[in-house]
Amino acid sequence: MSAGVASPVAGKVVAMGDVPDPVFAQQLVGPGVAIEPEGGPQEALAPIDGTVVTLHPHAFVVAGADGKGVLVHLGIDTVKQKGEGFTPHVVQGESVRAGQPLIGWNPDSVRAAGYSAVVPVVALDAAETALSEMLTDGEAAAGERLFVWE
């Protein structure tokens, strides 16, 4: 069963290999694409329908009914912010719909703290060949499909 994975934020599409973190750039947790978000306060949206299986102030994983998990990481090294500037709207174990706001944040605040605000969207433990119809450049709207996971 294939599923479309939507962008959690609006911004410029960035190749995973260009993310300034080796874990994401080398696709050690899985393939995907990243978004350099627009500035200002915004909401990070659920990329798929499913259950929030992991929730941190700066990152979350939503697993679909088929068990496929999508990781969304709001910025790089933002764990060092210890939750400051991030407002979760859901709890771990909650069922969510694609496009539902999950975490409020401000990419400009992340940048001001000295971190990259780029947002990797990762198909956890997937083979790169399992992803198709990947957006590879240009702009993505929040909620717009980034790729299909076969």
Residue 107's contacts (CB-CB under 8 Å, 6 or more residues apart) are 9, 37, 38, 39, 40, 42, 75, 117
Q: Which residues are catalytic?
A: 73
Cβ–Cβ under 8 Å, residues 34 and 14 = yes
